[in-house]
């Protein structure tokens, strides 16, 4: 490998999950990560040397120590993770999914070596496609089993249940691990038990408690190399810990099915907003918008939903998907101190998203949303969540849905096979009908959602822990003290499920910061 072109060609030829860093005696460096960045690789240039490592904090510790980056902290409160290539440390970067880099000793060049191309089948044969799909799933699961005790996460959803059933089909046995919560509306154990019974798995359950959170939040937060806010990391950790204690050394996870085959509710919601584009422009601009937005009629009870619909529908994607962003709804000026806010570019987050959105080219609106989620939902959030929690528990993890054959198959499916009208993941469910229990095919998506906000208002120990953590954060000059006081005293008790998310994000950031060297601070 002697050029960026050669680097890209080499990376594109590799299957599976990987992170590769190679350096020669002349100081030239080749870096690459897999298509979804399941494996992480970071870099930093010090003098004329390019250093690379799996963890950002390892590179930040090299002298001169790298300070925290205000823009990355802003990104964290916006995205609940820090999207690549930025990391929380100034001058330390993470290779984005599907990218490679070449350093010649003077400058670093970065290139995306894999871009999904949605080449939809024109005359689909459902039966033939269903057979191919089931076959590729089976091959993907078989390819990830390594001869050790076969096990997987089992939330009771379609993806994890499919993996469990395929493991049993391939290996003849399967161990499944599920997490429950003693909180109304959060526990899905009943569906996990349905899947376990259907496939005859060796089933294991653990109910996470508020005491578990108080005990494990610092450990989990500081295990990551930068702040990480996906609240499912704690349940995933306890699930992996249970599997490890049961003798499992490698778990299979079901992440990716929703994002490949159209399973998230927002896909249907955005399709509804997309219908507005089919209304003639003269009617939209000449009647509906002036009437609903510019007159008192729009404030009438029967017209409010129409006004809200128009206000959102006229905003293009991907901007529209952030209209309910928690940070933006609260108001950046209300959350951040003026000094901190003056040091960041609040518009940068949307610029990042527009760039990623544009990479899908002329694909259908749904497929563009899928490609967008491959970056922001999978590569920057869900996969780091699972990889981080399993590594802390001492278990390896694999993702059969991200197998090249399964991913490439999804690229050829017609858009209306993924979202038929407003029916989510239509093809996936119909292709597996008879294999998966009907109850699971009909259930709504939930996963290992954590009832943190509810518990934080009812459990004295967890409430005290969260309060102490946020009060510590208030002294760092990042978040306004009066906002933290209002969040804890007024907003959280009034709407625990909604504002609990912000408490969690701030708490995880502060707990991570407390685990950093004292010298690691924001540059004045």
| pLDDT single digits (tens) 415-474 | 999 999 999 999 999 999 999 999 999 987 655 578 999 999 999 999 999 999 999 999
Nearest to 452 by CA among 242, 230, 238: 230
Query: Predicted confidence band at 524 (pLDDT cuts at 50, 70, 90)?
Result: very low
Task: Collapse the DSSP code of 229 into the 3-class scheme (helix H, G, I; strand E, B; otherwise coil) and give the result.
Answer: coil
pLDDT at residue 446, as a whole number: 58
For the chain, the structural domain boundaries read: 4-112, 126-263+367-442, 452-514
Question: What tokens were used for 424?
Answer: 């989510």
pLDDT at residue 25, as a whole number: 87
Average pLDDT over every residue of 200-226:
97
Average pLDDT for the chain? 93
Burial class for 125, CB neighbours closer than 10 Å (0-12, 13-18, 19+): exposed
Structural Rg of the chain based on CA atoms? 24
pLDDT digits (tens, 9 = 90+) for 27-65: 899 999 999 999 999 999 999 899 999 999 999 999 999
Query: Predicted confidence band at 3 (pLDDT cuts at 50, 70, 90)?
Result: confident
pLDDT at residue 514, as a whole number: 95
CB 11 within 8 A of CB 113: yes
Average pLDDT over every residue of 106-122:
93
CA distances from 298 to 105, 282, 301 (A): 62, 19, 8
Residue 328, CA atoms < 13 Å, CB-side half-sphere: 14
pLDDT digits (tens, 9 = 90+) for 330-373: 999 999 999 999 999 999 999 999 999 999 888 999 999 999 99
The residue among 454 and 2 whose pLDDT is bigger is: 454
Query: Predicted confidence band at 309 (pLDDT cuts at 50, 70, 90)?
Result: confident
CATH number of 126-263+367-442: 3.40.50.620
pTM (two decimals)? 0.94
CATH class of 4-112: alpha beta
The residue among 281 and 229 whose pLDDT is bigger is: 229
């Amino acid at each position: 490998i002697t050029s960026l072109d050669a680097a890209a060609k080499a990376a594109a030829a590799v299957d599976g999950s990987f992170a590769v860093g190679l350096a020669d005696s002349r100081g030239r460096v080749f870096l690459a990560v897999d298509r979804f960045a399941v494996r992480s690789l970071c870099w930093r240039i010090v003098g004329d040397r390019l250093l690379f490592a799996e963890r950002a904090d390892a590179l930040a510790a090299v002298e001169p120590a790298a300070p925290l980056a205000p823009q990355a902290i802003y990104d964290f409160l916006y995205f609940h993770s820090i999207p690549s290539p930025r990391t929380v440390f100034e001058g330390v970067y993470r290779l984005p999914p599907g990218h490679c880099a070449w350093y010649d000793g003077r400058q670093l060049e970065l290139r995306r070596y894999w871009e999904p191309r949605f080449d939809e089948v024109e005359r689909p044969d459902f039966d033939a496609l269903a057979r191919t799909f089931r076959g590729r799933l089976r091959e993907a699961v078989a390819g990830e089993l390594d001869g050790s005790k076969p096990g997987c996460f089992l939330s009771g959803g379609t993806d994890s249940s499919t993996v469990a059933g395929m493991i049993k089909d391939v290996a003849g046995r399967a161990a499944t691990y599920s997490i429950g919560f003693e909180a109304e509306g959060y526990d899905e154990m009943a569906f996990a038990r349905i899947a376990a019974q259907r496939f005859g798995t060796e089933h294991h359950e653990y109910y996470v408690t508020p005491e578990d959170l108080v005990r494990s939040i610092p450990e989990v937060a500081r295990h990551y190399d930068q702040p990480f806010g996906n609240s499912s990391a704690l349940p995933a950790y306890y699930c992996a810990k249970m599997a490890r204690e049961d003798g499992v050394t490698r778990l299979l996870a079901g992440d990716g099915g929703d994002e490949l085959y159209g399973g998230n509710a927002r896909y249907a919601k955005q399709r509804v907003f997309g219908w507005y584009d089919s209304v003639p422009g003269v009617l939209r601009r000449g009647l509906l918008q002036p009437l609903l937005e510019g007159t008192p009629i729009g404030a009438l009870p029967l017209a409010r939903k129409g006004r809200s619909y128009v206000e959102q529908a006229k905003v293009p994607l991907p901007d529209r998907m952030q209209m309910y962003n928690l940070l933006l709804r609260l108001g950046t000026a209300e959350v951040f101190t003026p000094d901190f806010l003056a040091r960041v570019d609040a518009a940068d987050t949307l610029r990042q998203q527009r760039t990623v959105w544009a990479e899908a080219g002329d694909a259908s609106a749904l497929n563009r949303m899928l490609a967008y989620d491959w970056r922001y939902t999978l590569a920057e959030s869900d996969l780091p969540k699972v990889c981080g929690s399993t590594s802390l528990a001492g278990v390896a993890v694999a993702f059969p849905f991200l197998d090249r054959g399964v991913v490439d198959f999804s690229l050829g499916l017609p858009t209306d096979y993924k979202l038929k009208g407003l029916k989510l993941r239509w093809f996936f469910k119909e292709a597996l009908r008879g294999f998966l229990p009907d109850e699971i095919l009909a259930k709504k998506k939930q996963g290992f959602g954590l009832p943190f906000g509810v518990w934080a208002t009812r459990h004295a120990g967890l409430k005290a822990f969260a309060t102490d953590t946020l009060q510590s954060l208030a002294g760092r000059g990042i978040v306004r003290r009066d906002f933290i006081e209002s969040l804890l005293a007024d907003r959280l008790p009034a709407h625990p499920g909604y504002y609990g998310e912000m408490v969690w994000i701030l708490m995880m950031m502060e707990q991570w910061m407390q685990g950093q060297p004292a010298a690691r601070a924001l540059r004045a």
